[in-house]
Structure 1
């Protein structure tokens, strides 16, 4: 049995810039050395652990007493959560009333964000415990972690990292759970939950560690969510880059994968604004990363993907002057649409209208704006509806009306009746979002990436400027999108933005190079990938078929966007060409940084740098076929 001691709570003075009091509560080398299981690692150590991460059936798995002792060192921060839906199944925790309540709130992201383990896309867990009306069916832990450290101090994170690494237990990181692919969960794992690490502060005259930047800045903790950033914007009369979904943890995968917003074409991505990072690396040590210190890690953290290089505890980012957004919405449909007064149009007229929009969309990007759109099938009568919110920073209402008038005129000329829309102005997000999408199904609305769990499979592609630069490429792109929507019956979600190097301040970071040339971030959703409250749960075989079908349609988009890529946060982590799609020419350098700071591969996230060195197998070590879900054991490839 492991012997643990209750460490004293020490507030340490270090050379690392610490932004919050709870970052000063750290594990000392002296305390860590008292127990082999909690010792710090070494960046020079090569991988020596077994071929697979251990699981509860293995003799090496810590005993219940060991876990209790570990919890003692954590001050009671160790959780052993059951899946959310376990209340729907016969057993000690069964409650029909709680199950009905759960079903009613299942689609709301707050439920999953505030839970220690749950995430947005539940299919990635293996669908082993979903809400049910049949309590005698089976509920297992599946892809959900065995234990969770509810981190409220840096010391909690260090203890979790050291314990998992030294015991050869799989480690995962969950922030707010806005996860389309299962990066934040893992079967038989120990999870670090950063959601409760709070703190945010504005400095109107911040100077970066190297002195290269002086000006507005915001420091925020790992658990800060977008709505907290938006609140600070209003309070301090400034703008910072946050996610559109209010519950998104903005220091997690959002920032580390790029991070787009309403200001993407005007100020760049969230990763472009980072001035300094404090993090815990795979050796359990606290490091600061900026231009002058750990510069390679600083480069990788900003765009190289979450859950891969370390656990960020706080960041410092640039802020900007108040930048109001003028916005309006446009809708048209082939069927009667309660969200529009325009009469229904024919299918060919609908797609002519879409072509007109694609042609206009480049101008949205060039104006520093955002086009946020959906093409979705109507639920009751076969047909299609298009809805878009167009927002442009620093336009007056008069300027915005003048800006959208050519598009409206073109649509009217095509027989798509459009009146001049109401133009709204707001500080932090387009006011037309609510108006433009209030009539849509909840899983297809603006909230699909923020406030409502869709549980769908997602794939995406960046369409570069060249895809719309002339009649020929415009037509090819238009037909490719039409094919995926019509032939594939997939829901389309598009964001027209252009985070070029020039608008982003020419940053030197690991953001996917394809981001810099895009004018359309196109996404396709595979419906019914998971329980939506009504449809039956899909088997693993059916999920595999859906995934293969989705990737086949992505091939159509890849054919017209050769050399481009996909957004790691809102793409298919099992993309057939994931290295090129998510990282492009940055991959080799990112892999070098990964090996330097995490030589044992402690941080593993599907579709992340170095993820091809590990695989999910059955508990008996048998290799799996088909789509990867997280309800298995993590093993090294080839061993």
Structure 2
């Protein structure tokens, strides 16, 4: 919902007479924030609003319905039930899903009488649906010396894409998908161009309509042209086609000086290099990204799900099975497989018999350990059908550690599993590992962290966030993790 900015400004930010005003100038390199004397005036914001076609939005935190004077009991209860899900925060121009970065400034679990503050949220956001609006926002932030942030879906769970007292560029309404023939000295074929607001599920569905595969995330609400690809982007297809950043052909961006540039390996090549793996929301405002696509095959996508529990077996036996599983990862990823916990192994272009042959050495070890298990091998005609069956509702996870192939291939798997066992012993934390190998060379040299090239497992440590605990206890829990 987009509302005239000035109608909301008074409700969100106290009148100037009621707050202390700091004296200018700010230290060199710093930006003005809300209480600074040179913070943009109401007339400045009104002028910006006009220049962006009345698409400037004053931030009203989602959880304001849980606090006076706008308390709404029913709305607050609904907000509490949905607060932990990214889908709650994605449509909002400023909200984020990461509770640590929210800093309890305004959430539905703090007391009704506690103030609802902007905290780390942007003060205003522009609904960017064209390069001209991004240009206007960049120019305004530069001239007024205020911070600027970019919001797509806010799957950056470390909170790096927010900024206290900033102007936000909300790019989630940039919707464009197209297929065409691409010719360059580095690649000729059928690529796909899509803008920042297109999410993973939309990309998969559009690609399936033309018989193609495209690399995107397992969490279907991730913006693929955003931090996903700009930071690398591993996928269920990475063991076959590499990372998303490796398959980028060009970026269409607005630079900090407000100029519109198309960056390719041969044009603005330094910018192309940095955007392809160097980190999201860092070098420019991305409008769209063009990537390689890959044809579906007549074989389709094979899958293998193995399920068993630690019930009825000793703890040592259970962890021996984990060691056995890890020892088989190199063979699986070499065959194009990718594995996430509680989801099946994904094998592009493998028949059910081929999948069964790949899994058989591990199930034999489970038999030898007297562990009862259920094995389910599937085959789907295309990647979209496989994804929808197993991953359409898969949640997002935090970033973590990259485990090199050498750790497993040098017979040190047991050392790794011993660390897992120690971390999870208390029951407060759980391990999640995405197993894959980065396959194939990139379109051109890029800024990707070179350790991705040697990775076989991307490990994360997760724990539940207790919204009702005191902030001090939450900080202790985060430090312990």
Pairing partner for 1:486 from 425, 434, 455: 425
In structure 2, the partner of 1:244 is 218
> How far off is 1:542 after superposition?
3.7
The reply to whether residue 100 of structure 1 matches residue 77 of structure 2 is yes
Is 1:288 the counterpart of 2:226 in the alignment?
no
- Point out which structure has higher relative CO (alpha carbons under 8 A, 6+ apart): 1
2:61: which partner in 1? 83
Q: Which secondary structure does the structure 2 equivalent of 1:284 belong to?
A: coil
Cα distance in 2 for partners of 1:128, 1:422 equals: 47
- Tell me the alpha carbon deviations over residues 535-588 of structure 1, each in whole angstroms, 9 at most, x when there is no partner: x1441x4444334322xxxxxxxxxxxxxxxxxxxxxxxxxxxxxxxxxxxxxx
Give the counterpart of 1:353 among 321, 330, 355. 321
Aligned to 1:524: 461
Deviations 1:274-327, CA, capped at 9 Å, x for gaps: 111110111111111111111011000000000111111011110011153211
- 2:12 corresponding residue in structure 1: none
CA gap 1:297/1:506 in 2 versus in 1, 3 angstroms: closer
Deviation at 1:434, TM superposition (A): 5.3
Q: Hey, what's the Cα distance between the residues in 2 that align with 1:307 and 1:362?
A: 34
SS of residue matched to 1:140: coil
Aligned partners of 1:151 and 1:196 also within 8 Å: yes
User: Does the aligned pair in 2 maintain the 1:459–1:523 contact within 8 Å?
Assistant: yes
**Which of the numbers 94, 109, 115 marks the counterpart of 2:86?**
109
In structure 2, C-alpha distance between the alignment counterparts of 1:173 and 1:283, rounded to whole Å: 16
Aligned partners of 2:306 and 2:374 also within 8 Å: no
User: Which residue of structure 2 aligns with residue 230 of structure 1?
Assistant: 204
Give the 3 Å change call, closer, same or farther, for CA 333–127 of structure 1 in structure 2: same
Q: How does 1:150-549 map to 2 (within 5 A)?
A: 150-203=127-180, 205-208=181-184, 211-323=185-297, 324-335=300-311, 344-373=312-341, 387-428=342-383, 431=386, 446-449=394-397, 458=398, 460-471=400-411, 473-487=412-426, 489-500=428-439, 503-505=440-442, 507-528=444-465, 531=467, 536-539=468-471, 541-549=472-480
Look up the match of 1:588. Answer: none
CA distance in 1, matches of 2:339, 2:82: 30
Q: CA deviation at 1:101?
A: 2.1
Segments of 5+ residues of structure 2 without an aligned counterpart are 1-25
Provide the C-alpha distance between the structure 1 equivalents of 2:394 and 2:313, rounded to a whole number of angstroms: 24
1 CA distance for matches of 2:272 and 2:113?
50
Aligned counterparts of 1:220 and 1:197: Cα–Cα separation in 2: 9
**Structure 1 residues 178, 279: CA separation in 2 closer, same or farther (over 3 Å shift)?**
same
Which range moves more in the overlay, 420-429 or 229-238? 420-429
Output the CA distance in 2 between the equivalents of 1:463 and 1:231.
Answer: 32
Q: Using a 3 Å threshold, how does the CA distance of structure 1 residues 432 and 55 change in structure 2: closer, same or farther? A: closer
Matched residue SS, 1:407? helix
CA distance in 1, matches of 2:103, 2:226: 23
The alpha carbon displacement at 1:222 in A equals 1.5
Check 1:271–1:281 CA distance in 2 against 1; reply closer, same or farther (3 A cut): same
Once the two structures are overlaid, the 10-residue window that deviates more, 426-435 or 363-372, is 426-435
Match of 1:74 in 2: 52
User: Is the 2:248–2:443 contact (alpha carbons within 8 Å) kept by the matching residues of 1?
Assistant: no
Q: What 5-or-longer segments of structure 1 have no aligned partner?
A: 1-47, 336-343, 374-386, 439-444, 450-457, 551-639
**Secondary structure class of the residue paired with 1:478:** helix
1: CA distance, partners of 2:194 / 2:414: 44
Q: TM-score of the superposition, structure 1-length normalised?
A: 0.68
- Please tell me whether the aligned partners of residues 306 and 375 of structure 2 are also in contact (alpha carbons under 8 angstroms): no
Alpha-carbon distance, 1:518 to partner: 0.8
Partner Cα distance (2:116, 2:352) in 1: 54
Change (3 A) 1:299 1:238: same
Misfit runs of 4+, over 4 Å: 432-435
Give the direction of change, closer, same or farther, for the CA distance of 1:417–1:432 in structure 2 (3 Å limit).
farther
Q: How big is the shift at 1:94?
A: 2.5
Q: Secondary structure at the match of 1:107?
A: coil
Distance in 2 (alpha carbons) for counterparts of 1:82 and 1:284: 28
CA RMSD of aligned residues (A): 2.1
